[in-house]
Structure 1
Amino acid sequence: MNRSVFLLIFISFIIHNGCTGPNSTETERPNIIFVMTDDHGYQAISAYGSNLIDTPNIDRLANEGMLFRRAYVSNSICAPSRAAILTGKHSHINGHINNGSVFDSTQVTFPKLLQEEGYETAIVGKWHLKSEPTGFDFWKVLPGQGHYYNPDFRTPEGMIQEEGHSTELITDTAIEYLDSIRDREKPFMLMYQLKAPHRQWWPSAEDIGVYTDHDFEEPESLFDDYENRGTAAKEAEMRIADHMGLTLDNKIHPDSLAKTGIEEFSPNIYPRIYLDVYSRLTDEQKERWDAYYGPINKEFVENTPKEDELTRWKFRRYMEDYLGVVRSVDRNLGRLLEYLDENGLTDNTMIVYTSDQGFYLGEHGWFDKRFMYEESFRTPLIIRYPSVIQSGSENSDLVQNIDFAPTILDVAGVQIPGEIQGESLTPLFAGNNTEWRDQLYYHYYEYPAEHAVKRHYGIRTNRYKLIHFYYDIDEWELYDLENDPQEMMNLYNDPDYAEIKDSLHLELEDLREHYRDSDELTNQFLQRDLAEE
């Protein structure tokens, strides 16, 4: 019997017999820690081959578990992604289509199902779903986006504020929960969800300036002109050159910016937000902040870059701060892993590391996410489960965030409801992909809105991607990902791809029917959005 078949039988035995048999105790069931960052692109993880940063603790999970090469989201925007993860359903089914929605917390979620089956459940950090967390024995979450420094937290007892950096504070709470709050007679499921590295990328004191002298390689498409794409790419407002805030994002004080004569992209909003966030700092924090960013401001005023050089300057500043907050994520994950090691929890705990979506790190000249293009659509996913997953393994199947809920339920020995649209990843842990999907469905709704990314839906297969942009346009895009992995050439009207295009249209129709999405349902959501405006 080969190793893969043996592992698959072993997984099935553990999940469906060992965890739920009459002689088993609750403490024998696996613990689960779901680690989710916000806007962490796979390009900023060294386990994925990044040359931007070393992430030794995230890499440790990959070295001791399974790294998924082709993990994707179903809707690349923060709140809908979180709703999809909790419910195992696409946005059009769980109803949470954009960041403006309020999550229907009466829905069935995997934490509720775990709780009903004897698990202790907790969530700390970013929630971002507006309604109160349900299905958790313990919760302490950021209101909305939350703040990097001296953040407020929502708790069942009311709002509290703590001094420090959010990544450190959320990790402190996670470790405190594991150490002194949880019921040790029960297995636990902890959702450890960080704000970082979400915009506006405010590094902790320990990480300020760490990447000042780093040699960043510019993406080949930093100065993309979108010549061979459609309207959506050209009109999106997420270009580093034009839409990244010198005040909001690059930490140029509004007074300094005024001296240069450069007009901020959003002059009535960006400077105010920067000053509001800065005002949260303590005197000691301001002193450290000013010691680093003060000279940057001075140099910017005295030698203000222009045109392409300004874009390069903004890209560099973006990378210095973005990677600074990623470094904090990795370091604090290391603190959590160390706690598990020291307390004998490593072997019986499955850890899932992911992000709520991907992120542009200068590709196509962009920052942010939202598009179905790869850097936004694709997300990091690493799973460590020492008793089941072979260390150092990799997977290249098409997996999606709607798969997280059924996977966690499956590992915990909890029945997966038939209404869940995702699939358990447990067969892939042992390399059994004979019945795995070869298509993914995506649908993005948040337009008109910040960054002006058009509404669109589409299909991704192992090689091709077909996207339909709609609402105020009606345009299709087709990409051959094997020959054009950076998605620079729309082939929709190329006669050489006519047969492939027709086939993909049929496959997309079937996929929409499979996931119960339709133009009629889309119009219902559109009418709902218009009524709420």
Structure 2
Amino acid sequence: MPHRTYILNILTLLMMVSLSCSDAIKDKEPAEKELPNIVLLMSDDHGWDEVGYNGHPFVKTPVLDEMAATGLRFDRFYSGHSNCSPTRGSFLTGRHPNRYGTFTPGWSIRPEEITVADVLKEAGYKSAHFGKWHLGPVKKESPTNPGAMGFDEWLSHDNFFEMDPVLSRNGGRPQKIKGEGSEVIIDEAIKFIERTTQEGGPFMVVVWFGSPHEPYSALPQDLALYDLLPDSLAEKEVGLTSNTTGEKVTRPLRAVLRERYAEITAMDRSIGKLRTYLEESGNKKNTIVWFCGDNGTPKSAARTGMTLRGQKGGLYEGGVRVPGILEWPSRIKQPISTSAVSVTTDILPTLAGVTGQSLPQRPIDGIDLAPIFDDPTQKRDKPLFFWMFESRKIFHDASEPYIDPRLQEGTTPLAKKMAGKYTRNFRNFKYNEISPRDFAGMRSVMKDDYKLVIDEKYQSDEIVELYHIQNDPGEVKNLADHYPDVVHDMRTELRNWQKSVLHSLTEKDY
């Protein structure tokens, strides 16, 4: 009998080992201290309401809807700025872009900035960037290309791109790649993940889509999904870029939205392709997949979803509130949502926290959001600031360049023609002395449930608005006269923060 019991125990043990191996192949269980893989996704000119899960009446985003239903949904996620280049800087550095002179599109980052790729490299991560860069040229000699900013590999564009994108691989000569733009860069991301996984060690992939930035182009099957948009949308015309000439044209809104929404759906499908790959390769459980937009809906798209005030280029909700979703099955095991204020500057400190890395020794504007993973009712413990620095009033063509202008010349062509050409150049200037006039410009601060907006153009009167943003997301009822003490305290905090930003701009952080 003891011999028989011994045989049964051996068989049971073998069966358990077999089942364990089967589960490991299906989806590898991370070791207790295993570092997570990281995939960071960002759409281009994609407003908060332009996803199905936020109740849009037309846009079809089944993959993002599933992510929102199974992961962490940020109901109040913001871009670090109301335009693309500045937000991309905030995404990489955890710092407001005014600290390093990335004021508007076409202004580069500074080479001394420390990015999330730099931070994670210290933890052994291999990283890659795919898609839109827009923080300087991506060519090899640029001091602000993705490689110079910490990435091991890149296949990127100086600005935005459409179908059959022309991209530079690791700074080489731009090459056209046939295919739908979002799928092209997702396919490249998958190839990188495959190589990195085989080599061992964790990976970070940053994918910045060119969609749904205008001018729009889409596949026939995606366009067909939006053939039945309401005829009433055809009554309004909007201006945008012609895919044929690169010049501005005027077209019926219905036709424009049909193409825009088709681009969003194609991007959504490419995200689904990546998620499927992560699951089939056994990487899904311990991979953070974080998606967000880079600014609010542009004027050319109009708003057809939730009524938010303003649009891209302004600091009302319509300009800076964007979709935000995070998946990490090994940590976030149940679907949750949070109304805590969160922003692209939070990405670096959050990832530094979950990987055990120290923050750069300089002012960081973002916070670690990891506590929200366990308790989504937590509130942000520091104010969130926005500022449209009036760079055109401070700098001019004779200002001292921060980077040799020859190194700021772009090489990757795009559909939109500006200044007589189809490529983009960048700029960044020295800033040596703080002046009282430099505090002007539209600015905003969020604290608790309040949002203060100060709209002050250069050397002109200011407009002060206070909103209870949780109860009034449309920013309709100005409460400034009702709560003067709240306005005073928030203004003081905003002014002190601006002083810190201008101090950084003078290069004191380096």
Partner residue in 2 for 1:155 = 169
Partner residue in 2 for 1:511 = 494
Instruction: Give the superposition deviation at 1:41.
Output: 1.2
Q: Report SS of the residue matched to 1:244.
A: strand
Partner residue in 2 for 1:469 = 456
Q: Which of 407-416 and 362-371 deviates more?
A: 362-371
Equivalent position to 2:78, from 62, 66, 72: 72
Query: In the alignment, does 2:315 pair up with 1:372?
Result: yes
Instruction: Give the superposition deviation at 1:398.
Output: 1.0
Give runs of aligned pairs for residues 41-440 of structure 1, distance below 5 A.
41-130=47-136, 131-133=144-146, 134-145=149-160, 147-156=161-170, 157-180=172-195, 184-215=199-230, 244-245=239-240, 248=241, 269-270=247-248, 314-360=252-298, 361-363=301-303, 369-419=312-362, 420-431=364-375, 436-437=380-381, 439-440=383-384
Query: In the alignment, does 2:474 pair up with 1:486?
Result: yes
Which structure has the higher relative contact order (CA within 8 Å, separation 6+)? 1
**Identical amino acids, percent of aligned pairs:** 26
Query: In the alignment, does 2:385 pair up with 1:441?
Result: yes
Distance of aligned partners of 1:365 and 1:60 in 2 relative to their CA distance in 1, 3 Å threshold = closer
Q: Which consecutive unaligned segments of at least 5 residues does structure 2 have?
A: 1-30, 137-143, 394-417, 419-439
Instruction: Give the superposition deviation at 1:512.
Output: 3.6
Q: Report SS of the residue matched to 1:415.
A: coil
In structure 2, how many angstroms separate the alpha carbons of the residues matched to 1:35 and 1:365? 24
Equivalent position to 2:442, from 447, 456, 460: 456
Contact 1:120 1:183 in 2 (8 A): no
Instruction: Give the superposition deviation at 1:152.
Output: 1.2
Instruction: Give the superposition deviation at 1:475.
Output: 2.5
Distance of aligned partners of 1:334 and 1:435 in 2 relative to their CA distance in 1, 3 Å threshold = closer
Q: Report SS of the residue matched to 1:383.
A: strand
Instruction: Give the superposition deviation at 1:362.
Output: 2.2
Report the AA paired with residue 70 of structure 2. E
Contact 2:445 2:452 in 1 (8 A): yes
Report the AA paired with residue 457 of structure 1. R
- The count of corresponding residues between Structure 1 and Structure 2 is 414
Instruction: Give the superposition deviation at 1:217.
Output: 8.7
Q: Report SS of the residue matched to 2:193.
A: helix
In structure 1, how many angstroms separate the alpha carbons of the residues matched to 2:504 and 2:56? 38
Report the AA paired with residue 108 of structure 1. I
Give runs of aligned pairs for residues 2-41 of structure 1, distance below 5 A.
18-19=32-33, 28-41=34-47
Contact 1:358 1:380 in 2 (8 A): no
* CA RMSD after TM alignment: 3.3
Distance of aligned partners of 1:366 and 1:502 in 2 relative to their CA distance in 1, 3 Å threshold = closer
Q: Report SS of the residue matched to 1:320.
A: helix
Q: Which consecutive unaligned segments of at least 5 residues does structure 1 have?
A: 1-16, 20-27, 224-239, 255-267, 272-309, 526-533
Instruction: Give the superposition deviation at 1:171.
Output: 1.4
Distance of aligned partners of 1:365 and 1:350 in 2 relative to their CA distance in 1, 3 Å threshold = closer
Q: TM-score, normalised by structure 1?
A: 0.70
Distance of aligned partners of 1:472 and 1:149 in 2 relative to their CA distance in 1, 3 Å threshold = farther
Instruction: Give the superposition deviation at 1:46.
Output: 1.3
Higher-helix-fraction structure:
1
In structure 1, how many angstroms separate the alpha carbons of the residues matched to 2:176 and 2:47? 29
Distance of aligned partners of 1:382 and 1:217 in 2 relative to their CA distance in 1, 3 Å threshold = farther
Contact 2:95 2:365 in 1 (8 A): yes
In structure 2, how many angstroms separate the alpha carbons of the residues matched to 1:192 and 1:325? 16
In structure 2, how many angstroms separate the alpha carbons of the residues matched to 1:339 and 1:408? 22
In structure 2, how many angstroms separate the alpha carbons of the residues matched to 1:398 and 1:36? 18
Instruction: Give the superposition deviation at 1:522.
Output: 11
In structure 2, how many angstroms separate the alpha carbons of the residues matched to 1:465 and 1:390? 36
Task: After superposition, give the CA deviation of every residue in 1:306-341 in whole Å (9 maximum; x if it has no partner).
Answer: xxxx9xx83322321111100001111111111011
Q: Report SS of the residue matched to 1:317.
A: helix
Task: After superposition, give the CA deviation of every residue in 1:333-379 in whole Å (9 maximum; x if it has no partner).
Answer: 11111101110010010110111122155248999601111121111
Q: TM-score, normalised by structure 2?
A: 0.73
In structure 2, how many angstroms separate the alpha carbons of the residues matched to 1:524 and 1:203? 44
Task: After superposition, give the CA deviation of every residue in 1:240-295 in whole Å (9 maximum; x if it has no partner).
Answer: 75x624xx36x7x89xxxxxxxxxxxxx9425xxxxxxxxxxxxxxxxxxxxxxxx
Report the AA paired with residue 107 of structure 1. E
Instruction: Give the superposition deviation at 1:508.
Output: 2.4
Q: Report SS of the residue matched to 2:239.
A: coil
Distance of aligned partners of 1:125 and 1:448 in 2 relative to their CA distance in 1, 3 Å threshold = same
Instruction: Give the superposition deviation at 1:144.
Output: 2.1
Task: After superposition, give the CA deviation of every residue in 1:381-439 in whole Å (9 maximum; x if it has no partner).
Answer: 10011111143200001111110111111122222235322101000111165563363
Contact 1:73 1:81 in 2 (8 A): yes
